[in-house]
Amino acid sequence: MKYFAISDMHSCYSQTIKALGRAGFDRNNPDHTLIVCGDAFDRGTQAPEMLDFLLSLERKVLIKGNHDDILMELLERKHPKMSDDRNGTTGTVYQLGYGEGITKFSDFCDKAYGRFAPIYNMMVDFFETENYIFVHSWIPFITERYGFAAFDDNWRNAGADLWKEARWANPFEMAENGLRPDKTIVFGHWHTSWPRAYYKGMEESGPDADFSIYYGKGYIGLDAMTASTGIVNVLIIEEDV
Q: pLDDT digits over 1-26, tens only?
A: 999 999 999 999 999 999 999 999 99
> What is the pTM assigned to this prediction?
0.95
Q: pLDDT digits over 25-67, tens only?
A: 999 999 999 999 999 999 999 999 999 999 999 999 999 999 9
Domain 2-238 has CATH 3.60.21.10: yes
- List CB contacts of 194: < 8 A, sequence separation 6 or more: 170, 172, 204
Closest-CA residue to 120 (of 166, 69, 79)? 69
The ranges assigned to domains in the chain are 2-238
Residue 141 scores a pLDDT above 90:
no
Closest-CA residue to 196 (of 188, 205, 204, 207)? 204
In sign, the C-alpha dihedral spanning 170, 136, 69, 164 is negative
Closest-CA residue to 139 (of 127, 122, 148)? 127
Residue 212 scores a pLDDT above 90:
yes
| For residues 172-195, average pLDDT | 92
